[in-house]
Amino acid sequence: MPAFSEQELDKISAEMENQTPQQIITWAVETYAPQIAVSSSFQTQSVPLLHMVSRIDPEILVFFLDTGFHFWETLMFREQLQREMGLHIQNLYVDGQWKNFLDRFGRDLYDHDPDLCCYLRKVQPMQKGMKTVRAWVSGIRRDQTANRHNAKIIEVERDGLVKINPLLNWTRQDVENYIREHNLPTHPLFEKGYRSIGCKPCTRAVRADEDERAGRWDGKGKTECGLHTEMFNQDGPGKSALLNGFLLNPSEDETQ
Ligand code: SF4
């Protein structure tokens, strides 16, 4: 496996701006397999990437964050895509070290402290999963959020993990075109207005005139879970009074 410096990866990334997602994935597989994994949330916009990687490298590992809060339709869709595309899925779960904390606060943590909830249920399990590989293929697009607008096709994350974003220059329309051209399935909730789907408590359907991600963390002042922001490179969610209080007094009974 060639070891590229960060400067070399920057140069390759710039050259890839005009390449197709399939060309970018092929380079990633040839460079890093078998130490490479794809992350997927198994929603409609995940379908083209999963289809492409399953054709280019059927053995590629697919990480799925099982937060415990998914729509059952998402779990069914995951099973369907696994069967139809022959995917090798590995579920990632919240770390056992947080059991006591989540027993006390986990039920509605998404309301009290959604950044902490995402950190414990998504970011930290993904950090742990990604320690087992050298490269991460993600399906983010520049047209999704302001943060993603500034992403690069190849990025270097914590511990030298190389993140590859083959669909970065695609649009929502490209996703829909690919699905139609290849006669691929869509998430069962897509036609009901769920254009972007995450955990059930933090997702609502959107109107036709709304942004596709307008239904994610609506009213919570949050647009990203942290997987694709600087939070991924941190060892904690930042300031969390709830977590800091718990760590200071882990056995304190809040009912007293
Ligand atoms: S999306 Fe909501 S429920 Fe899921 S981990 Fe983030 S805050 Fe928690």
In a domain, 26, yes or no: yes
- The total number of structural domains that make up the chain: 1
Mean pLDDT by 10 residues, the chain (256 residues): 88 98 98 98 97 97 97 98 98 92 89 92 96 97 92 95 98 97 97 95 94 92 91 82 78 52
In a domain, 47, yes or no: yes
In the residue annotation, 202 being an active-site residue is answered as no
Identity of the amino acid at 184: L
Predicted local distance difference test score (pLDDT) of residue 192: 96
* Ligand 1 atom closest to 122 (CA): 5
Q: Is 38 helix (H, G, I), strand (E, B) or coil?
A: strand
The label of the residue with tokens 């998914």 reads: 70
Residue 207: exposure state from Cβ atoms within 10 A (0-12, 13-18, ≥19): exposed
Domain CATH code at residue 21: 3.40.50.620
DSSP single-letter state for residue 145: -
In a domain, 242, yes or no: no
Pick from 61, 68, 52, 67: nearest CA to 88 = 61
Range of the domain at 36: 6-234
In a domain, 239, yes or no: no
Predicted local distance difference test score (pLDDT) of residue 252: 62
Q: Where are the alpha helices (DSSP H) in the chain?
A: 6-15, 21-32, 47-56, 72-85, 99-105, 109-112, 114-118, 124-130, 146-149, 172-181, 241-248
In a domain, 143, yes or no: yes
Ligand 1 site residues, Cβ closer than 6 angstroms: 67, 69, 110, 114, 117-118, 121-122, 198-199, 201-202, 225
* Ligand 1 atom closest to 115 (CA): 7
Please pick, among 117, 118, 199, 225, the residue that the annotation labels catalytic.
Answer: 225
In a domain, 217, yes or no: yes
In a domain, 254, yes or no: no
Ligand 1 pocket test, candidate residues 75, 110, 218, most atoms within 8 A of CB: 110
pTM, 2 dp: 0.93
In a domain, 255, yes or no: no
